[in-house]
């Protein structure tokens, strides 16, 4: 049998994000356009691949870590400030790097998501009480150009993350 286990530590935009409650969940969904035919009814006869949507979700256990604040409030330096409206997500997104805690475990040693930002519409909620303050996070992973080292242009080869 070949079971894979192992914890990862996270860094966002070069700053540690602190303790994570129960690991990092990587989710993805393929995108496509169905091709239908009158003879097949509602069942597609083929389809066109249209990319992959990806998110990384986790629960921050250290509200006050520098990297944590950048994750849950990326719009402005001061908590509560909305920042400049009308910016592109790609100008706000930062790199998320997950590195294995025990380098003797199975590979990959690290995951690098070059451009990650709070997933639009994700409801961030934390309790202000005499309890442990936790912050659930869901990041959208934006594609990164392998040709232009950043923003994808027409016909560029893109990736969502790379491993080492």
Least confident of 42-46, 138-142, 153-157: 153-157
pTM: 0.91
Where are the domains positioned within the chain? 18-31+44-64+71-163
Kindly compute the dihedral angle of the four CA atoms of residues 47, 52, 53, 57, in this order, to the nearest 10 degrees.
130
Token pair 């997104």: residue: 93
For 123-132, the pLDDT digits (tens) are 999 999 999 9
For 137-149, the pLDDT digits (tens) are 999 999 988 887 6
């Amino acid at each position: 049998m070949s079971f894979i286990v192992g914890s990862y530590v996270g860094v966002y935009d070069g700053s540690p994000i602190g303790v994570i409650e129960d690991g990092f969940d990587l989710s993805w969904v393929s995108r496509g356009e169905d091709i239908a035919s009158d003879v097949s009814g509602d069942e597609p006869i083929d389809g066109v691949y249209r990319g992959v949507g990806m998110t990384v979700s986790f629960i921050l256990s250290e509200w006050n870590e520098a990297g944590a604040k950048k994750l849950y409030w990326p719009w402005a330096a001061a908590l509560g400030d909305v920042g400049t409206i009308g910016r592109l997500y790609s100008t706000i997104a930062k790199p998320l790097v997950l590195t294995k805690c025990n380098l003797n475990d199975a590979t990959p040693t690290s995951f690098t998501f070059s451009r990650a930002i709070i997933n639009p519409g994700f409801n961030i909620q934390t309790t202000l009480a005499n309890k442990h303050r936790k912050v659930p996070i869901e990041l959208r992973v934006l594609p990164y150009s392998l040709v232009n080292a950043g923003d994808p242009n027409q016909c560029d080869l893109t990736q969502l993350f790379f491993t080492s």
